[in-house]
Amino acid sequence: MCGRLSQYDGIHDFVAALSMPNPFVNHTGDVPFERYNAAPSTQLALLHLEGQYLQADMVRWGWRPHWAKDRAAPINARVEKVAHGPFFRSIWTHRAIVAINNWFEWVDEGGPKKQPYLIRREDRSPILCAAIGQYPNAEHPPGEHDGFVIITADSAGGMVDIHDRRPVTLSPELAREWLDPATSKERAEQLVLLQGEPTEAFEWFKVDRAVGNVRNQGSELIRPC
């Protein structure tokens, strides 16, 4: 998965897609985010459960443990290793959902520059990506070390021609189970390993190369070219 995505709807659109009955605590505002070209280190809306409340906070995309100061903060975690490797051990149980509208991949098609593609759900509904991170809660106020990573898996079907890795995305039902603190670590691992949404739920198409410059923003970046 390349490091660029869109989160342009408002938080209430994403919460509606998750369809969770819990009372909602919103720290992200009520207007559309309009992040059409979000890059690593961008603050994105992250959904997580705190007690009985579904909470939304703006959290940096990218995280590393305090002892790994000599390396860049990863933005993704490979599903094959995330539950058992030492790097993400301290946040494996801090499960979250980052709801997005689409993500981008770049493909070498033999031209002078790689061609960007946009990937979204065929039904245009929000994409519920499995994530883990360090984020605000009752015992932990917002801090400089907060951040999250998106869990990724091997692509399959036609999507592998666009990129060999993709975010693990969950149906609303499984996303709710992923968020539930009562879900065991073993069950959570099985969810992201085996029950992510299939490639058939998505469509992809070429978009303008302007998306390659993170300073470019706007709805024109998500239109087919």
Catalytic residues: 2, 105
Query: b or e along 15-34 (b: 16 or more beta carbons within 10 Å of the residue's beta carbon)?
Result: bebbebebeeeeebeeeebe
Q: How far apart are CA 17 and CA 27, in angstroms?
A: 18
b/e map of 200-214 (b: 16 or more CB within 10 Å)? eebebeebeeebbee
Q: H or E element: which one contains 16? A: helix 11-18
